[in-house]
């Protein structure tokens, strides 16, 4: 951990009691700050409040009182999910108060080698693969943190100058990380996500590009080269560009040719040996390979990871096989693009479980994927009528169900040996579940109850 005095004697407000917010509050006390912690909800677990108060932190729960804007805070550390049009946040913006996210705080105390990953889809898998690959050859610690569910600042506290940290960073986190400077940055792809938060696609792209804002030619931006738009986006970075591509050969980076993965013209391994299924995971592997090779990782280490790693929980996660049906949990597919690529990964008939929060999107672009891959659909949640309409357009039988749990026995009734039963909702979970993780866990529990088996 790097010693800094930036917060010594400063008055800091931490907004949000998520894992990152709680860790940030305790860290700021260590850094000499006078800390107030605020959450709009009242925690069900009193231990959270007790622990904060025991560390000398003032705690305010049950509201974001606008009066806090008049208390002279020097810095606000905001939960990434709290929008900037939140009345209290907007008041701080208006008066020019410094507003950061916990990712910025983590960077400020980190003293090692930083690799950071962002993108619309594939972030977690790419982050995990990159960490595993670098760790295979490393003599020092290699950890991952960030949007992957582990506090950046908490892990950064325990790492030294020779250690490596691979961070998954969301657009929300990057908006509040003005000085972050990874030596290797990865952009997996950019679609039109979170426009309810960012308002425009250009705002969303700009937030993503904060990952490379402070990079120089001595740093590397690893970026997907499969679309012209992404190639143009790369031109906005000062870093050395390292492309990865499933569709376009480029000797400057990692690519696929005739079923073989190459790094700068040298063979690495066949794509068929990657244990993860689907074209999206070939892309994730290519991104991780580029970062790993830039970090000095051997081909043998890369092969070991890619031939054994079976997936991140909730990201096209293989659950089990039962009576010749394969169950997959892809609850992390909270947008249309993620479900598209999930479906492309199967050469068996798919019983698709889909639906969730209605964000105003339409789903007609899924019709060709449904026609090609989907045998039947179980739909649920606020979007079930929209999903049903698209299924009907594709000529796919559709059954309505209450949620992702009740959909499991319905899917089983429609299945036959050789089928895939896939939860890939194409929508966020918040209409029925607090997170996609909870939705995926409940799906797995329903599969276990149906089959009498535990996930594999």
> Is 123 marked within a binding site?
yes
> Is 188 marked within a binding site?
no
Helix/strand/coil percentages in the chain, nearest 5: 40, 20, 40
> Is 125 marked within a binding site?
yes
The token pair at 321 is 């096989």
Helix, strand, or coil (residue 325)? strand
Judge contact between 254 and 211, C-beta under 8 A: no
Helix axes 279-294, 336-344, angle to 10 degrees: 100
> Is 101 marked within a binding site?
no
The span from the CA of 244 to the CA of 383, in Å, is 35
List own/partner pairs for 439-444 with CB under 8 A and 24 or more apart. 439/331, 439/356, 439/404, 440/313, 440/314, 440/317, 440/329, 440/331, 440/332, 442/403, 442/404, 442/405, 443/329, 443/331, 443/353, 443/404, 443/405, 443/408, 444/319, 444/329
The span from the CA of 26 to the CA of 28, in Å, is 5
Judge contact between 286 and 261, C-beta under 8 A: yes
> Is 45 marked within a binding site?
no
Q: Residues annotated in the binding site, as ranges?
A: 119-125
Q: Residues annotated in the binding site for ATP, as ranges?
A: 119-125
């Amino acid at each position: 951990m790097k010693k800094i005095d930036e917060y010594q004697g400063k008055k800091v407000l931490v907004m949000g009691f998520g894992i990152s917010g709680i860790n940030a509050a305790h860290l700021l006390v260590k850094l000499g700050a006078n800390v107030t912690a605020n959450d709009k909800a009242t925690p069900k677990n009193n231990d959270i409040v007790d622990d904060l108060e025991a560390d000398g932190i003032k705690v305010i729960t049950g509201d974001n009182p606008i009066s806090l804007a008049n208390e002279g805070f020097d810095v606000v550390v905001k939960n990434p999910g709290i929008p900037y049009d939140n009345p209290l946040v907007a008041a701080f913006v208006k008066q020019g108060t410094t507003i950061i996210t916990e990712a910025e705080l983590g960077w400020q105390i980190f003293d090692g080698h930083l690799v950071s990953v962002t993108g619309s889809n594939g972030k977690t898998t790419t982050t995990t693969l990159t960490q595993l690959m670098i760790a295979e050859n490393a003599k020092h610690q290699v950890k991952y943190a960030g949007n992957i569910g582990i506090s950046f600042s908490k892990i950064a506290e325990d790492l030294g100058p020779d250690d490596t940290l691979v961070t998954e960073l969301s657009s929300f986190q990057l908006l509040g990380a003005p000085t972050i400077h990874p030596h290797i940055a990865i952009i997996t792809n950019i679609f039109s996500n979170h426009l309810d938060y960012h308002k425009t696609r250009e705002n969303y792209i700009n937030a993503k590009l904060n990952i490379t804002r402070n990079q120089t030619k001595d740093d590397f931006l690893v970026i997907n080269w499969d679309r012209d738009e992404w190639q143009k986006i790369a031109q906005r970075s000062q870093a050395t560009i390292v492309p990865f591509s499933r569709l376009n050969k480029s000797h400057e980076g990692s690519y696929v040719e005739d079923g073989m993965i190459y790094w700068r013209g040298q063979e690495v391994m066949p794509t068929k040996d990657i244990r993860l299924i689907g074209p999206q995971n070939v892309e994730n592997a290519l991104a991780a390979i580029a970062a790993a090779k830039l970090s000095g990782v051997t081909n043998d280490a890369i092969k070991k990871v890619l031939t054994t790693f079976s997936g991140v929980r909730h990201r096209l996660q293989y659950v089990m096989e039962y009576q010749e049906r394969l169950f997959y949990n892809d609850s992390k597919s909270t947008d249309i693009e993620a479900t598209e690529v999930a479906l492309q990964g199967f050469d068996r008939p798919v019983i698709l479980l889909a639906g969730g929060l209605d964000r105003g999107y339409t789903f007609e672009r899924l019709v060709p994927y449904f026609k090609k891959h989907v045998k039947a659909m179980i739909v649920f949640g606020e979007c079930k009528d929209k999903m049903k309409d698209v299924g009907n357009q594709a000529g796919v039988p559709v059954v309505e169900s209450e949620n992702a749990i009740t959909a499991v026995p319905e899917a089983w009734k429609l299945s036959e040996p050789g089928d895939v039963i896939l939860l890939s909702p194409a929508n966020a979970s918040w209409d029925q579940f607090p997170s996609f993780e909870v939705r995926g866990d409940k799906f797995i529990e329903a599969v276990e109850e149906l089959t009498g088996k535990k996930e594999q």
